């Protein structure tokens, strides 16, 4: 890893040994005894997990490990069988998803949720909090919401320009490419002024030409003071941007630590890397091409 790649890394996040469930110096999310079963199959069984503040944490593991289910539980899109969790000291157990977002914890989805028959700008404006025009009474009196709506549009256009989507503002979201929809969803999440951004496979289905742009946007979230938790299968991306890595397998947290050390742990190799344990995972995921040496 180059010194440029290391320049944005945050270290010294944990207390004691880097083991599953270890304490963090400044946790934003604290999860205790969260369990979810579907028809007798345990999807999530997390005894204790802390997500560090002002850092980028990657949540990795094989398909079916419970990563997206854990996301759904933490953001109020599903309810656990047991367990509690808190966000900056506030309990979120039983809190519906829209209130979770209002508190500053927002997420994107593995399959983007852009409203296809609204324009890109309209999708952005929907993400703003506390809109006066959402009240039935106020909606009938334009004077009550028109100034705020103009301010929201200015903010939306600034974000669209940052994500290089401003020229698409009047296009229907349905016309965007898969990568552009990922960018739109990330930009729309920022309309809520979040403190924790949760990204579910931000690179899935993205054209390689947009990959670096998305990587830079994720790193910039932390530079702007946000905390990031993301699910990802691309280990090259994880190594490049993550400060901390949490590994799940069969619903449980089996390892956690800095990316340069956690990838070498036997529990991770057994649960995730399998036959690729001696191969750079950037090659496995197709992000890096290695030219074989002559005679090999």
Q: Is residue 224 part of a domain?
A: yes
Mean pLDDT to the nearest integer, 51-70: 92
pLDDT for the residue numbered 167: 93
Same domain, 151 and 206: no
Question: Which pLDDT tens digit goes with each residue over 170-185?
Answer: 999 888 887 788 888 8
Same domain, 105 and 246: yes
Q: Phi then psi for 54, rounded to 5 degrees?
A: 55, 40
Q: Is residue 182 part of a domain?
A: no
Q: Phi then psi for 270, rounded to 5 degrees?
A: -65, -40
Same domain, 46 and 90: yes
pLDDT at 217 over 90: no
DSSP symbol at 172: B
Same domain, 26 and 110: yes
Number of domains in the chain: 2
- Give the domain range for residue 205: 3-114+193-284
Q: What is the DSSP string of 31-54?
A: EEEEEEEETTEEEEEEEEEEEETT
Instruction: Among 53-67, 98-112, 173-187, name the most confident range.
Output: 53-67
- 256: tokens are 């956690």
Chain Cα centroid distance, residue 120: 21
Q: Give dist(CA 188, CA 127) in Å, integer.
A: 6
Same domain, 222 and 260: yes
Q: Which residue has the tokens 């990838």?
A: 263
Same domain, 101 and 208: yes
Q: Give dist(CA 43, CA 65) in Å, integer.
A: 7
Same domain, 13 and 130: no
The end-to-end CA distance of the chain, in Å, is 25
Q: Give dist(CA 157, CA 153) in Å, integer.
A: 6
**Calculated CA dihedral for residues 98, 187, 223, 18, nearest 10 degrees:** 50
Nearest to 192 by CA among 74, 132, 104: 104
Q: Give dist(CA 47, CA 45) in Å, integer.
A: 6
Q: Which residues contact 67 (CB under 8 A, 6 or more apart)?
A: 59, 60, 61, 200, 231, 248
Question: Is the pTM value of this prediction over 0.85?
Answer: no
pLDDT for the residue numbered 291: 44
The sheet that has 27-38: what strands, in order across it?
A: 41-52, 27-38, 82-87, 90-91
pLDDT at 12 over 70: yes
Least confidently predicted of 60-64, 252-256, 263-267: 263-267
Nearest to 105 by CA among 80, 77, 75: 75
33: left (phi over 0), alpha (psi -120 to 50) or beta: left
Same domain, 96 and 221: yes
Same domain, 106 and 201: yes
Q: Give dist(CA 269, CA 167) in Å, integer.
A: 45
Same domain, 89 and 22: yes
Q: Taking the CA of residue 99 as centre, how many other CA atoms within 13 Å lie in the half-sphere pointing to its CB?
A: 9
Same domain, 8 and 142: no
Question: Which pLDDT tens digit goes with each residue over 114-164?
Answer: 567 789 989 888 877 665 555 556 666 666 667 767 788 888 999 999 888
**CATH number, domain containing residue 280:** 3.40.50.300
Same domain, 86 and 201: yes
Q: Centre a 10 Å sphere on the Cβ of residue 293 and count the other Cβ atoms it contains.
A: 6
Last residue of a domain, one of 175, 203, 218: 175
Q: Is residue 258 part of a domain?
A: yes
């Amino acid at each position: 890893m180059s010194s440029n790649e290391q320049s944005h890394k945050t270290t010294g996040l944990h207390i004691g040994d880097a083991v599953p469930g270890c304490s963090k110096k400044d946790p934003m999310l604290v999860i205790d005894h969260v369990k979810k079963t579907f028809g007798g199959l345990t999807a999530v069984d997390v005894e204790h997990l802390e997500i560090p503040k002002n850092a980028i944490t990657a949540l990795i593991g094989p398909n079916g490990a419970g990563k997206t289910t854990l996301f759904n539980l933490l953001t109020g899109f599903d309810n656990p069988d047991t367990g509690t969790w808190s966000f900056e000291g506030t309990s979120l157990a039983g809190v519906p998803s829209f209130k979770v977002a209002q508190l500053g914890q927002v997420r994107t989805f593995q399959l983007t949720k852009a409203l296809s028959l609204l324009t890109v700008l309209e999708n952005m404006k929907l993400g703003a909090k506390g809109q006066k025009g959402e009240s039935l009474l106020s909606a009938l009196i334009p004077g009550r919401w028109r100034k705020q709506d103009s301010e929201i549009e200015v903010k939306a256009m600034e974000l669209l320009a940052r994500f290089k989507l401003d020229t698409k503002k009047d296009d229907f979201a349905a016309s965007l490419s898969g990568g552009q929809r990922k960018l739109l969803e990330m930009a729309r999440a920022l309309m809520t002024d979040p403190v924790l951004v949760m990204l579910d496979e931000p690179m899935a289905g993205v054209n390689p030409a947009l990959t670096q742009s998305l990587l830079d946007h994720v790193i910039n979230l932390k530079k702007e003071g946000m905390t990031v938790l993301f699910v990802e299968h691309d280990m090259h991306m994880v190594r490049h941007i993550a400060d901390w890595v949490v590994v799940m397998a069969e619903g449980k947290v089996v390892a956690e630590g800095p990316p340069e050390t956690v990838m070498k742990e036997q529990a991770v190799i057994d649960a995730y890397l399998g036959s690729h344990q001696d191969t750079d995972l950037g090659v496995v995921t197709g992000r890096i091409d290695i030219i074989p040496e002559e005679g090999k």
